[in-house]
Structure 1
Amino acid sequence: METDYKNLKLCKHGLPTWDAMLPVALSVASKQSSAISRKEFSEAIVNSLQLPDNLRQLKSEKYPDVNIIDSRTTFPISELTIGGLIERPKRGFYLITPLGKQLLEQYGGKLTSEIIHKLPQFIQHQDELKQKGNLEKTEDSQSTDNSDSVEPIQTVDSIVKDYNDTVSIDLLDRIRKGTPYFFEKLVVELLSAMGYKGTNGQAFVTQKSNDSGIDGIINQDALGTSTVYIQAKRHQVGNNVGRNEMQAFFGALSGFGSDRGVFITTSNFSNGAIEYAKNQHIVLINGIRLSDLMLQYQVGVNVKKQYTTFDIDEDFFIEDD
């Protein structure tokens, strides 16, 4: 279905604003019988707007090789994905969800960002981003500068952090949608990447039918004299790991003759679970920490681009007397 762009909210360039394209993008997704690639999706959204050639080819002043309308489709696609109206069944491909079909039928062309921002999945996404922001502020509170001036490197750092935070939350969402066994393999791979396996150690997921409450085992040396036992719980947000699950894990550790282990979940831990784990020397990793570690040790992600910055080596310019 095509849309006359002139009936949408327009920006100063005469192009539709990104939020005006939300129902357009969702309508385009609804017409696809199967998942569509990001490039095809973007092109289909733009083609449905019936833009005259001068607007279709309008370039960004800052990035003269980029068509404004092409780059603008990034925002509605991202917004709809975060809200759960479209999903990515595989990397770089998009498909409308049952929720997307429901809201398209309910609101049609009147779908707005305000409606999307009230959806549970969008709220969850924002809450997790806030948690990451609060963690960052706590860790950096000692170095906070009240100066109004902002160095360019600080601006770059802020942009990169915001981008990586979003990737981190998206990563966590993908993990929650996987199978429990996939999650168990993931955490074993992560701890191995973090160096727990050592040089000659072994890491493996226990048999699904007979794991005795232990999901993964890492022998840190060839003889297995030092062992890490893992419990992995793929829970949705709000379904926090409680004290009873922690006690059960400690019981499983005792069965292996150990009193130390790592408990990893995609959700969070109750206060009772945290207190019990602290007394029993159990290391806890919640969903936010898990996705941060995956980025840090590059598990399940690719490095997209790296930037190098420079400053002056003052010692180089010191002349001998």
Structure 2
Amino acid sequence: MNKDWKKLKQSANGIPMNESLIPYILEVIKDGEEVTNRVIQKRVIDYLQIPDSIVNIKYPNYPDSDGIFINRVGWALSSLYIASLVERPKRGVYKITDDGISMLNKHGDTLTKRMLEELPAFINYKKELAIRNARTGNKAPIPETEQEEVKIEVESLVTNQNNEVAIELLDKVRQVDPSFFEKLVVDLLVAMGYSGKNGDAKVTNRSNDGGIDGIINQDPLGTSTVYIQAKRYMEANTVGRPAIQSFYGALAGVNADRGVFITTSGFSSGAQEFAKNQGIVLIDGIKLTELMMQYGVGIEIAKVYKQFRIDNDYFENEL
């Protein structure tokens, strides 16, 4: 492995590009221990002997930020996570995976982002990101002014970043215990206001739920009730028509006319057709995380940015 930072691909200001840092992140965590982002940053800096004069270069408009180099380590680490070469056992903590060790042993310091993009995990990530961008309409129109160009670029960047968070969120939801997932979907529907002002919501007893995982009474007397079935499946395990028919049978068993079927995967065309004809609402994994982010379930706001504009009405009163 090369240890001279000057040999890495650099931007015009002499700072190594994030792609060039990819193999070195794997190198400094190859022992398999769980380490924080800060530890990884320090190890990469020490391994490549990057001087403070490079590490301390800041973005001109963000003098209080961690700096461009540290930001690029973050982007490289994000790419490795997307490619499943590192995992996050808990918040802010990383660990190399068996695939990460294999790729490092095979390619060493010649490992590139293009190689990561050819891995199945990265390909699936890009597919889901494309779907989310399409659903959110994340297509930048042609700007007419410089101000519009900046606005469009920022909005597109924020939307794309939020979609990336949603992908990570869905992956996390797929890993939780089934009972926790059932509680999660009930919490979501409550956050969306389905329990009403004086209603209540609960997860049913797993040993005798009869195909109903959650019940939301929208009024104190329970005259308006929503029944829920929640299936925590991996991406490839598509929910088919038989599962929806089974849920419909469970609804009939309690004389219900409304039901919501929520999954972390997707639905077959047959399942969608049957649900539509029977009035059953289907929520797939992508829609689930969109709603979680919209109603603040399992996520928190990282940063809020202000954008200013001229108040022309104020100046109309000028004498």
Task: Report the TM-score when normalising by structure 2.
Answer: 0.90
1:32 CA displacement: 4.6
Q: Which residue of 2 aligns with 1:42?
A: 41
Q: Deviations over 1:125-181 (max 9, x none)?
A: 1111100121123xx99xx85555461433332222122111111111111121222
Q: Which residue of 1 aligns with 2:68?
A: 68
Moved more, 178-187 or 60-69: 60-69
Q: Give the alignment of 1:91-240 within 5 angstroms.
A: 91-137=91-137, 146-149=142-145, 151=148, 152-240=150-238
Contact 2:141-2:152 at 8 Å conserved across structures: no
1:310 CA displacement: 4.9
SS in structure 1 of the partner of residue 226 of structure 2: strand
Q: Give the alignment of 1:19-34 within 5 angstroms.
A: 19-33=19-33
SS in structure 2 of the partner of residue 30 of structure 1: coil
**Consecutive unaligned residues in structure 2, runs of 5 or more:** none
Q: Which residue of 2 aligns with 1:55?
A: 54
**Consecutive unaligned residues in structure 1, runs of 5 or more:** none
Q: Which residue of 2 aligns with 1:267?
A: 265
Contact 1:216-1:230 at 8 Å conserved across structures: yes
1:198 CA displacement: 1.1
Q: Deviations over 1:193-243 (max 9, x none)?
A: 000011221111112222111111111112211111111111111221111
Distance 1:6 1:305, change over 3 A: closer
CA distance in 1, matches of 2:182, 2:37: 30
Moved more, 1-10 or 157-166: 1-10
CA distance in 2, matches of 1:123, 1:217: 37
Residue 272 of structure 1 aligns to which amino acid in structure 2?
Answer: G
1:100 CA displacement: 1.2
CA distance in 1, matches of 2:316, 2:114: 59
Q: Deviations over 1:253-309 (max 9, x none)?
A: 111111320011111111111110000000111111111111110000111222344
Q: CA RMSD in A?
A: 2.4
Q: Number of residues paired by the alignment? A: 315
Percent identity between the two aligned chains: 47
Moved more, 310-319 or 78-87: 310-319
Distance 1:273 1:43, change over 3 A: same
Residue 105 of structure 2 aligns to which amino acid in structure 1?
Answer: E
Contact 1:3-1:24 at 8 Å conserved across structures: no
CA distance in 1, matches of 2:108, 2:142: 46
Distance 1:183 1:206, change over 3 A: same
1:89 CA displacement: 1.1
Residue 231 of structure 2 aligns to which amino acid in structure 1?
Answer: K
Q: Deviations over 1:82-139 (max 9, x none)?
A: 11111111111111112212222222222111111011111111111100121123xx
Q: Which residue of 1 aligns with 2:4?
A: 4
CA distance in 2, matches of 1:41, 1:224: 54
CA distance in 1, matches of 2:57, 2:314: 48
CA distance in 2, matches of 1:308, 1:75: 24
Contact 2:2-2:109 at 8 Å conserved across structures: no
Distance 1:256 1:302, change over 3 A: same
Contact 1:20-1:112 at 8 Å conserved across structures: yes
Residue 259 of structure 1 aligns to which amino acid in structure 2?
Answer: D
